[in-house]
Amino acid sequence: TLDFCVEKGYSFYHKKSHQGLLRNLVVRHGVKTNELLVNIVTSSEDGFDEQAYLDMLLELKLDNKLIGVMRTFNDSLADAVINEGVKILFGRDYYNEEILGLKFKVNAFSFFQTNIEAVERLYSEALALIPNLDSKVVYDLYCGTGTISQLMASKAKKVYGIEIVQDSVDAAIDNAKMNNIDNCHFICGDVKAKLDEVTEKPDMIVVDPPRMGMHDKVVEMLSSYGIEQILYISCNPNTMAMNLEKFSELGYEPVVMKAYDNFPKTKHAEAVTLLTRTDSYCE
């Protein structure tokens, strides 16, 4: 892609002047399926030769299978991949992945774990901390594309997944159907706003929040259910630590904690913590 764009003389997008054509290249890879989804992000400036770019990609000798090529338009001032319109140049706008025997359709703009082998270990060990899911109602908060929800669904009575990104919720619904799972219910919206809409109260809660962690109000709401245990999966142990301090004030203490280096040679680490009500733990 770089060679192609240099040869064509395309300009790159300047953050300060907000002018230029090329912004991002996003390549999504299905580790278990060997599928590649390519998404080139540009401004709406004229001049990008879509057909020539597609022809170049289709002629490449690849170890993986190219299943989709997209062009996303982004004229926003934010230095991020903002979808302001998409053209599918070839194939489809999603790829398939597998985790612990379940199949997942991952849309182009949905968050999904990248280190599949590492996350399989993390999820397996995290869910093993839950003593018994049989016939229980489970909340999976910040559920993304519903990976953890569906892994728990085989034992739980019902799983409610809440996620703010509509694209991820749509993928979660499709994934549950693809895996023949009918006891997962997915809700799109902010956790703080949507918790009160679920009338069936939880027996178990699993949270996997974004890097910013959870708002204190959400911690208070989760603690108010008074359930015995809460499983916290974190991609930012710093904000998790702040949340745990608030949980401690409300009667929950960590009894198991483990860190995972899912992204070696980067600053990022993940962590899993099992919280238990202090009164039940003392007993």
pLDDT interval class at 207 (50, 70, 90): very high
> Which of the following is catalytic: 5, 143, 184, 235?
235
Q: What is the pLDDT of residue 281?
A: 43
- Rounded to 5 degrees, φ, ψ at 205 are -130, 130
pLDDT interval class at 221 (50, 70, 90): very high
Query: Per-residue pLDDT averaged across 194-223, rounded?
Result: 93
Question: 282 an active-site residue?
Answer: no
Residue 283 has pLDDT above 50, yes or no: no
Q: What is the pLDDT of residue 115?
A: 85
Query: Per-residue pLDDT averaged across 80-89, rounded?
Result: 89
| Closest CA relative to residue 72, chosen from 99, 101, 93 | 93
Residue 280 has pLDDT above 60, yes or no: no
Q: What is the pLDDT of residue 134?
A: 86
